[in-house]
Amino acid sequence: MAEENLSSQVAIQGLLIPTRTYDVASVTFLEGIPQPLRTGQATEATDHAEAAAPQAENTADRAERTAERLAAEARNAEARFEAQLRK
C-alpha cells in the first residue's frame, strides 16, 4: 500500500461471516467524492432541473425529428439507387 493512502478515508464493503471474519468485496477512497447537498442547495438544484427540463425535452424532440428525417432521406436515396440499378 502506498504511504499516501495510509491516512485516507475509505469505505469498505464486504460480508461479515460466522467465523467472525470480514470478507472485503471493495474499498472506495472517499476523497474526491462530492458531499451531499445542503438543504438550500438541494432546493436550488431542483429549481434549475425543473427549469431545464422543458429545454431538454425540446432538444430531444428535435433530435428525434432529425433522426426521422435522416432515416427518410436514407430510404429515398436507397430507392433512387435501386432504381438506377434497374435501368
Q: Tens digit of pLDDT per residue, the chain (87 long)?
A: 567 777 788 888 999 888 888 889 988 888 876 777 677 777 787 888 888 999 999 999 999 999 999 999 999 999 999 998 887
| Euclidean distance between the first and the last CA atom of the chain, given in angstroms as a whole number | 73
Enter the C-alpha cell of residue 41: 442547495
Enter the C-alpha cell of residue 87: 435501368
For residue 77, the enclosing domain spans 3-86
Is-contact 24 5, C-beta < 8 A? no
Domain count, the chain: 1
